[in-house]
């Protein structure tokens, strides 16, 4: 009866494993799911492991269980599987036998209307409900629905009236955590917050419970307290920004948003500028008038996380040739690709964020492919930033 819902979650892109299905039916057998509220909460707890999937799950639940067609385009094969299932066929037979439906009405009803009637009957709610204290509807004191007087509960669509709901299903304001979404102030902090470097510091002042128990057991019950040094986040970040070229102009807002949030997130952040490619010097100001030696950067802590932001799209000579920098007065003798190789060898925790859509990378300059062989390259999207952070954390 519920299996098609898991297929629906999988088909719309929410990662669902067979283990989730087993956990769901175990919860069902233990009596943890007795009404629609518990069905929603338990299923979401089992199936949703990342915040970016909350909205997708809620829309799928609304479409499948609450008959809200506009919440999600449900694949035809999912509906067909449900129509052919034994519970639905038994319900249909009972409705015909009781005279609630006729053969002609069934032929005239649409599939969503039939499914809506099925779920309403399954949940023992046979009509639209207004008022009361038990069913989904409007008004009343039921913990489900909207515009009612219940304290707490879950609002199912509709506008907020008393602002007392603890959960909301249906249309609501939300932060876009979709993997391919644009970088915005409200979602970028969540991605950056996963990157930390916890190191012990200061005197031994934090009690280690596991080691204390182990030592006490070895001492025959005589308590011996074991202390460790306090763990603090000591992460250092360098941000290198491509600035000044026309090719980066369409991405200014995204780069500016990332820059702003990184300054808020990391206390130890250094940032520098370059034009198209990194050479023997970078710059400390956006106008690129104050130079800073690449050798000085290479002297910094090797555990520093380095983010390079640029489209990596330039003339091949700018990357591969001596004196290849596009700036007319440039005197950089060392080819850009050698300078990039120096950065990669110096800082093992480095990623390149490219604002160009990933599908266009193979069709642009060969420089993108060459640079992607030196650094881990990700797109400048929320998903790309998350991948970059996970990559840096995994290398640790």
Question: What does the pLDDT look like over 144-170, one tens digit per residue?
Answer: 444 445 444 445 445 444 444 444 544
Question: What does the pLDDT look like over 326-355, one tens digit per residue?
Answer: 876 677 889 999 999 999 999 999 999 999
* Secondary structure class of 365 (helix, strand, coil): coil
**Is residue 187 assigned to a domain?**
no
Under 8 Å between Cβ of 233 and 197: yes
**d(Cα 212, Cα 206) in Å, to the nearest integer?**
11
Q: Are residues 350 and 244 in the same domain?
A: yes
Q: Are residues 271 and 297 in the same domain?
A: yes
Q: Are residues 212 and 258 in the same domain?
A: no
| Final residue of a structural domain among 208, 233, 258 | 233
Q: Are residues 77 and 217 in the same domain?
A: no
Q: Are residues 79 and 117 in the same domain?
A: yes
Domain range for 297: 237-395
> How many domains is the chain partitioned into structurally?
3
**d(Cα 83, Cα 81) in Å, to the nearest integer?**
6
Question: What does the pLDDT look like over 289-329, one tens digit per residue?
Answer: 899 999 999 999 999 999 999 999 999 999 999 988 887 66
**Is residue 41 assigned to a domain?**
yes
Strands 281-283 and 291-293, how do they pair?
antiparallel
| Final residue of a structural domain among 233, 254, 282 | 233
Q: Are residues 66 and 104 in the same domain?
A: yes
Please state, in angstroms and as integers, the Cα–Cα distance from residue 148 to each residue in 68, 120, 140, following that order: 20, 20, 5
**Is residue 150 assigned to a domain?**
no
CATH of the domain at 260: 3.40.50
**Is residue 176 assigned to a domain?**
no
Is pTM beyond 0.85 here?
no
Q: Are residues 217 and 302 in the same domain?
A: no
| Final residue of a structural domain among 233, 256, 278 | 233
**Is residue 16 assigned to a domain?**
yes
**Is residue 170 assigned to a domain?**
no
Average pLDDT estimate for 364-383 = 93
Q: Are residues 390 and 242 in the same domain?
A: yes
**Mean pLDDT, the chain, as a whole number?**
76
**Is residue 135 assigned to a domain?**
no
Please state, in angstroms and as integers, the Cα–Cα distance from residue 229 to each residue in 102, 195, 205, 211, 301, following that order: 75, 21, 6, 13, 22
Question: What does the pLDDT look like over 99-128, one tens digit per residue?
Answer: 777 777 666 666 656 666 666 666 544 344
Q: Are residues 276 and 250 in the same domain?
A: yes
Q: Are residues 257 and 222 in the same domain?
A: no
Q: Is the pLDDT of residue 13 over 90?
A: no
Q: Are residues 312 and 216 in the same domain?
A: no
Q: Tokens 């989904």 label which residue?
A: 136
**Is residue 23 assigned to a domain?**
yes
Q: Are residues 220 and 337 in the same domain?
A: no
């Amino acid at each position: 009866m519920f299996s098609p819902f898991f297929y629906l979650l999988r088909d719309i892109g929410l990662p669902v494993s067979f283990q989730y299905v087993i956990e769901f039916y175990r919860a069902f057998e233990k009596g943890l799911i007795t009404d629609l509220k518990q069905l929603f909460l338990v299923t979401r707890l089992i199936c949703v492991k990342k915040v970016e999937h909350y909205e997708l799950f809620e829309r799928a639940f609304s479409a499948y269980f609450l008959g809200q067609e506009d919440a999600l385009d449900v694949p035809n094969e999912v509906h067909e599987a449900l129509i052919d299932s034994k519970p639905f066929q038994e319900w249909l037979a009972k409705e015909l036998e009781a005279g609630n439906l006729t053969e002609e009405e069934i032929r005239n009803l649409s599939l969503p209307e039939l499914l809506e009637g099925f779920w309403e009957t399954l949940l023992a709610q046979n009509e639209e409900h207004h008022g009361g204290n038990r069913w989904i509807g409007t008004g009343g004191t039921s913990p489900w629905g909207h515009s009612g007087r219940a304290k707490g509960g879950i609002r199912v669509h509709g506008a907020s009236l008393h602002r007392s709901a603890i959960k909301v299903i249906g249309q609501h304001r939300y932060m876009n955590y979709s993997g391919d979404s644009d970088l915005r102030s409200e979602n970028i902090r969540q991605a950056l917050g996963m990157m930390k470097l916890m190191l012990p510091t200061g005197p031994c002042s934090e009690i280690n419970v596991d080691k204390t128990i182990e030592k006490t057991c070895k001492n025959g019950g005589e308590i011996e307290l074991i202390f460790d040094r306090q763990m603090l986040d000591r992460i250092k970040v360098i941000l290198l920004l491509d600035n000044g070229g026309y090719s980066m102009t369409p991405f200014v807002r995204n780069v500016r948003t990332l820059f702003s949030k990184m300054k808020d997130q990391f206390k130890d952040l250094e940032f520098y500028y370059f034009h198209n490619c990194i050479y023997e010097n970078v710059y400390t100001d956006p106008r690129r008038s104050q130079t800073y030696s690449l050798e000085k950067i290479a002297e910094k802590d090797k555990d520093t996380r380095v983010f390079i932001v640029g489209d990596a799209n330039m003339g091949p000579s700018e990357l591969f040739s001596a004196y290849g920098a596009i700036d007319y007065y440039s005197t950089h003798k060392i080819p850009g690709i050698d300078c990039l190789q120096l950065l990669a060898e110096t800082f093992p925790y480095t990623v390149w964020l490219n604002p160009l859509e990933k599908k266009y990378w193979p069709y642009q300059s060969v420089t993108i492919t060459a640079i992607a062989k030196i650094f881990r390259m990700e797109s400048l999207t929320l998903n790309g930033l998350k991948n970059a952070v996970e990559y840096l954390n995994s290398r640790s």
